[in-house]
Amino acid sequence: MNFPQFAFNNVRRNARAYVAYLLSSSFMVMIFFTYAVFVYHPKIANSEMGNMTRVGMSIATAIVYVFAFFFVMYSISVFLKSRNREFGILTILGAESRQINLLIFLENILIGAVAIVTGIAAGLILSKVFLLVSTKVIDLDDLPFYWPAKAILLTAGAFILLFLFISLFTLMFIRKRQVLDLLTGSSKPKKEPKANVFTFLLGIALLATGYWALHGKKLDELGLLIAAVTGIAGTYFFYSQLSVWIVKKLQRRRSAAWKGTNLLWISEMSYKLKDNARMLFLVTVVVALACMSTGFVLASQQAIRDSYMSNPFNFRYTTYSDGDQKKAEKDLAYIEKSLGAEGMEYRVAKVDLIPDNSYAAGKEKTVLISQSQFNHLASVMTIDPVEQLGQTESVLVQTPERERKYPPQGNNMDVRIADSTYAFRFVSRTEKVASLSYTGKLLVIQDEEFERLKREHQAWGDYIQNTTVYMAPDSGKFPGKEDPETKLGLELAEWNRSGDHGGFLQSRAENYYSFKQTFSLFSFIGVFIALIFSVSSASFLYFKLHTELSGDAVMYRSLSKIGLSSREMNVSATIQIAVLFFIPIAVATLQSLVVLGPVMEMMNSMSPVYVPVITASAAFLAVQTVYFLVVRARYIKAVDKTMV
Amino acid sequence: MDILEVKALNKVYSGKVATQALTDIHLTIREGEFVGIMGPSGSGKTTLLNMVSTIDRPSSGEVRIGGQNPYNMRKRELALFRRQQLGFVFQDFNLLDTLTVAENIVLPLTLDRRPLKEMDGLLKQTASKLGIEGILNKRIYEISGGQRQRTAIARAIIGSPLLLLADEPTGALDSQSSRAVMESMAEINEKDGTTLMLVTHDPVAASYCNRIVFIKDGKLAAEIHRGENRQAFFQKIIDMLSFWGGNTSELSSIRV
């Protein structure tokens, strides 16, 4: 038997010990590969996506890789530790350290090769299944299966590098250990980590930098990148420092610590503090990403729905006073004919609008409408009309979304027409009709005043906006692909885009539908990332508990001899497992709230992000709870079996 | 009062080849006794101890501790019974590395949710009995083997158990520490009147007992009582061992 044979047989005959390590490595390869299959999918790679999405996806790729690195690193260190005795015996038998190094190196390469091959094979099947399922679930044209040569190369390359690096790294790790240490194995406790003021401040500074990058100025790609790096690093320090601090505090409060099973789990946690902090950190990052991507998908869908709901006009045709009025009349006739042909019941109203000049003074535009036209519109829409107004009196109508964001201040506002400013006293109202103005801000003024301002406005060379709106009875539902409104909207939008027309037609159903179409691909990617990360966080925790199980079982067994009941063991173990599973969700929710707000704002969404984020994290909470119950049950069952 | 009653105890380990580990054991320990169980390796000492300490079930026969039959109890009751009525001292200490010495000692009391004040009082009392007051805040890996075993004894007696069971408590200790540990146990027996059952094959350790029961091949073989003189008792033990053990090489580790 020569040495490589020995190494090979060692793996083959001791398969049970290697299987956990092999499985976890292979699992990480699979995750990374499946992700790569999507990123390099021709349809996704060639799609028109913003820079922001691209940066987001690269960040996710990097995190998957870093995650894989830590995961493999962690499993190999656990694995080698469990074999310390074996190395000790080999050393005593006279094996040179060179030979042991070679043994570990060969084993790692062997396991790495197997993991890469099996991981890619499993990934091929997984991505195929995922493509099949997802195209069914999501309203997506279809994402065909392809031969992912690029993804295979990337995965194989990345993981060969990773295994090589880790092999070399572990050699350094082993070399400095004494034979005695190896033989007595892991009975020596790890050094207790200490809370350190400097590291603590560093963590705070990092988190603050991340927060500033997100909220300080207008967010751009660089800001997002900075926030990702500092946020992740900050999270690590947050856990490593805060957990030390909390556990120490708990230990010092004897009235709480010396009660029931508290003593047991608190001390266990302080013992595993370093490992736990790392685990919490990794799981948090992963869950936060999953939460963010789901939250992003939900928030964007919400934004699309909101913009549909807030628009009370099924169709809207806009011309400007400097446009071709004849063509406009022809267009209107055509639109009405089309509506009639489709058999749609509709009401129609025409309004003249003055968009004021405020933007020249660096303020937001206000759109003016005359009282009589507003009241006509109000009667068509069956909303309250406006009472007779004085010359400087007005009614400020805002959309509900705008109202939420900018509640009106005071009761005076300035309007700028030509180069002079007019002050109006106002009372405010909230109506959807204000979406006539794209800023969501409509000011109703006295008819005579309106005519005067209109003349002045046009004399200055500015235009008046003539808008015709069509309203059909509201079905209260979102338009589907087959609805007549959608069909007509698509048709008319196409008609309006092609050829020479006097004005611009908007259909809210067409808007909604085409946004939804464009967005479905990203929903798909977002959900996919979330799914992958959620599964990997659970398997990560499972692996940790699995490796700790044998040690814990010995401890609980000896405690059961002196009278620890199964139920007490259950309580102690459940608390420890629950901390690992649920604290990351809480922190990840917080992080998602902080991150998604500015990201959505950058995407010009008016909708608040907390609803989608809470929804997403509630979903993860549910999923994580299922994982938790399964993992906990298995762990407790295994420990219970060893108790006497 | 009889603390422990063992009647017609049999233990068979089933397997490919069934092994009769214990055959028809009868043993009674009265309150305040310090009983040693001796015998050569494989004689069934530890099996007997496991039966008494409710860790393993007998195949037939009866074990009563303080008049109760632990094998009729449910799992949770049994755990409580162990915690409150029995004390354990093991060869490998079975202390938790994660806890300090003080925390290790009070662990059974915290599981019972005793008030902090009471725990502190008992801790102080027990620690001074065993001479380990100075190391209460140390971690287990920072103290010596003898100190570890005395910590384990403190943990075993802090709840004032009905019966203290010791399985080779000196097996992992040097002679100096062994003596300190055995003296502590003898003192607990004499001063507090705690009933002890000790399994050992160290004749020096055994010489601290009042009575020694010898087991060979799973059967009771002999019983000797201690008189006034420990030295004479020790000699008697040696004689018994060489007679029952039949193999003098097992006595090579004699230390006086």
Q: Which residue, among A184, A561, A571, would best test binding to B if mutated, counting the most B CBs under 10 Å from its CB?
A: A561
Residue A135: CB partners within 8 Å, gap ≥ 6?
A: A142, A143
CB-CB under 8 Å, B107 with A264: yes
Domains and CATH numbers, chain B: 30-47+87-247 (3.40.50.300)
What's the pLDDT at B255? 46
Report the residue of chain B nearest A643, measured CA to CA: B55
Residue A267: CB partners within 8 Å, gap ≥ 6?
A: A251, B96, B98, B99, B103
Residue A270 near chain B (CB below 8 Å): yes
Residue A267 near chain B (CB below 8 Å): yes
H or E element, residue B215: strand B211-216
Residue B153 near chain A (CB below 8 Å): no
Question: A505 by DSSP, 3-state: which?
Answer: strand
The DSSP bridge pattern shows strands B219-225 and B211-216 to be antiparallel
| Cβ atoms within 10 Å, residue A339 | 21
Report the residue of chain A nearest B117, measured CA to CA: A255
- Spatial contact of B52 and B198, defined as CB atoms under 8 Å apart: no
Of B53, B81, B110, nearest to A263 by CB-CB distance is B110
What's the pLDDT at B188? 92
> Token pair for residue B27?
């043993």
Residue B148 near chain A (CB below 8 Å): no
The DSSP bridge pattern shows strands B34-38 and A347-355 to be unpaired
Residue A259 near chain B (CB below 8 Å): yes
In this predicted structure, the answer to whether residue A120 has a pLDDT above a threshold of 90 is yes
pLDDT tier at A605, thresholds 50, 70, 90: low
What's the pLDDT at A578? 94
**What is the CA angle B51-B53-B59, rounded to 5?**
15
Report the residue of chain A nearest B157, measured CA to CA: A562
What's the pLDDT at A549? 86
If one compares A170 and B37, the residue with the highest pLDDT of the two is B37
Domain boundaries, chain A: 1-184, 311-509
What's the pLDDT at B3? 92
Of B76, B119, B141, nearest to A565 by CB-CB distance is B76
What's the pLDDT at A190? 59
Write down how long chain B is: 256
In this predicted structure, the answer to whether residue A129 has a pLDDT above a threshold of 70 is yes
**What are phi and psi for residue B5, nearest 5 degrees?**
-130, 120
Contacts of B88 in chain A (CB under 8 A): 561-562
Residue A271 near chain B (CB below 8 Å): yes
Contacts of A563 in chain B (CB under 8 A): 79-84, 86, 108, 111
Contacts of B94 in chain A (CB under 8 A): 558-559, 561-562
In chain A, pLDDT over 70 holds for what percent of residues? 91
**What are phi and psi for residue A606, nearest 5 degrees?**
-90, -15
Rounded (to 5) percent helix, strand, coil in chain B: 45, 25, 30
The DSSP bridge pattern shows strands A393-398 and A420-430 to be parallel
Number of Cα atoms under 13 Å in the Cβ half of residue A265: 18
What's the pLDDT at A133? 67
CB-CB under 8 Å, B97 with A260: no
Integer Cα distance of A68 and A71 in angstroms: 5
Question: B226 by DSSP, 3-state: which?
Answer: coil
Residue A641 near chain B (CB below 8 Å): no
Q: Output the CA torsion A361→A364→A369→A370 (10° steps).
A: -50
What's the pLDDT at A41? 76
Integer Cα distance of A107 and A4 in angstroms: 9
CB-CB under 8 Å, A258 with B119: yes
- Spatial contact of A328 and A502, defined as CB atoms under 8 Å apart: yes
pLDDT tier at A142, thresholds 50, 70, 90: low
CB-CB under 8 Å, A559 with B96: yes
Express each pLDDT in B176-188 by its tens digit.
999 999 999 999 9
Q: What is the mean pLDDT of chain A?
A: 82
**What is the CA angle A118-A121-A127, rounded to 5?**
135
**What is the CA angle B195-B199-B200, rounded to 5?**
130
pLDDT tier at B254, thresholds 50, 70, 90: very low
Contacts of A256 in chain B (CB under 8 A): none
Residue A565 near chain B (CB below 8 Å): yes
Of A259, A270, A563, nearest to B79 by CB-CB distance is A563
Average pLDDT over residues B88-105: 89
If one compares A99 and B146, the residue with the highest pLDDT of the two is B146
Task: Give which of A236, A238, A239, A209 is closest to A225, Cα–Cα.
Answer: A209
**Cβ under 8 Å to A: B residues 84-103:** 84, 86, 88, 90, 94, 96-99, 103
Report the residue of chain B nearest A270, measured CA to CA: B98
Residue B83 near chain A (CB below 8 Å): yes
Can you tell me the ipTM of this complex? Answer: 0.85
CB-CB under 8 Å, B99 with A561: no
Q: CA Rg, chain A, in Å?
A: 33
Q: Which residue, among B78, B98, B100, B117, would best test binding to A if mutated, counting the most A CBs under 10 Å from its CB?
A: B98
**What is the CA angle B21-B24-B27, rounded to 5?**
105
Residue A234: left (phi > 0), alpha (psi -120 to 50), or beta?
A: alpha
CB-CB under 8 Å, A561 with B82: yes
Of B88, B99, B119, nearest to A561 by CB-CB distance is B88
Q: Output the CA torsion B151→B152→B158→B160 (10° steps).
A: -140
Residue type, A464: I
- Spatial contact of B1 and B206, defined as CB atoms under 8 Å apart: no
Residue B104 near chain A (CB below 8 Å): no
Contacts of A254 in chain B (CB under 8 A): 116
Integer Cα distance of B200 and B212 in angstroms: 10
In this predicted structure, the answer to whether residue A318 has a pLDDT above a threshold of 70 is yes
Express each pLDDT in A476-524 by its tens digit.
777 777 778 888 888 888 888 887 787 888 888 888 887 777 777 677 7
What's the pLDDT at A63? 76
Integer Cα distance of A93 and A87 in angstroms: 10
If one compares A461 and B52, the residue with the highest pLDDT of the two is B52
Q: How many Å lie between the alpha carbon of A271 and the closest alpha carbon of chain B? A: 6
Average pLDDT over residues A409-415: 84
Task: Give which of A352, A217, A193 is closest to A275, Cα–Cα.
Answer: A193
Lowest mean pLDDT among A286-290, A297-301, A350-354, B247-251: B247-251
Average pLDDT over residues A328-344: 84
